[in-house]
Amino acid sequence: AQKITQTQPGMFVQEKEAVTLDCTYDTSDQSYGLFWYKQPSSGEMIFLIYQGSYDEQNATEGRYSLNFQKARKSANLVISASQLGDSAMYFCAMREGQNNAGNMLTFGGGTRLMVKP
Amino acid sequence: GAVVSQHPSRVICKSGTSVKIECRSLDFQATTMFWYRQFPKQSLMLMATSNEGSKATYEQGVEKDKFLINHASLTLSTLTVTSAHPEDSSFYICSARKGGATQPQHFGDGTRLSIL
């Protein structure tokens, strides 16, 4: 079974509108972390936001917020006031356990976001 | 911030050549670094976990003799693609984590490898 699922391969959003990118995860660990990364066409991976499994409040970082619904095992990324520079691939990733082997990340398949002017 | 430098960014070479890619954490020490491979329009697939001073841990299906990893110091890991063939053409990207388990992995800019 997929550990991280991003069901939207591609999405369009109008500039200045908000957009939600979906991410669901599967784990039996009680302690885990969820990350969102942005990958522009140039290839680098840019860290956006982190949510720990024990964090009671949804994480926010500037225009990015994470809609964390633990019971539903979802960690959707919300981008407010979209900008043209937000056009990129977005990956959801999970780190299982507090100190798992190397603390590796498992990535979802990604969502390509395209912002329309 | 945490900076990870990866070099070279682009390699084009003939089949049979061995290619070395370097990954450096510039402003922090990393006992563990990670190497990923990414095919066009696909997600990142973990190849191996690079451990400073010990052997790398490879993911299932990744040939350790093909992809040699050396983590000689707390700031440097290298991936050598030995006797590269066209099917090894891909985007390779490394990462390292600064700090505790809640900290993100920071990625290098990646290396686009093209084998002719």
Residues of B in contact with A25 (CB under 8 A): none
Q: What per-residue confidence (pLDDT) applies to B31? A: 81
CB-closest option in A47, A98, A109 to B101: A98
What dihedral angle (degrees, nearest 10) is formed by the CA atoms of B54, B113, A106, A83?
Answer: 130
pLDDT value of residue A41: 92
Contact B43 A95 (CB under 8 A): no
Residues in B touching A42 (Cβ below 8 Å): 109
Residue B104 has pLDDT above 90, yes or no: no
Contact state of B51 with A102 under an 8 Å Cβ cutoff: yes
Give the helix ranges, DSSP H, for A23-72: none
Lowest mean pLDDT among A75-84, B15-24, B97-106, B107-116: B97-106
Residues in chain A where the model's pLDDT stays below 50 = 101
In order of A28, A84, A92, B17, B63, the CA distances from A24 in angstroms are 14, 26, 9, 41, 31
Out of B51, B105, B112, the one facing A105 most closely (by C-beta) is: B105
3-state SS, residue B93: strand
When pLDDT is cut at 50, 70 and 90, the band that residue B103 belongs to is: confident
Instruction: Please say if the pLDDT value at position B92 is more than 70.
Output: yes
* Contacts A–B by Cβ distance under 8 A: 59
Predicted confidence band at B25 (pLDDT cuts at 50, 70, 90)? very high
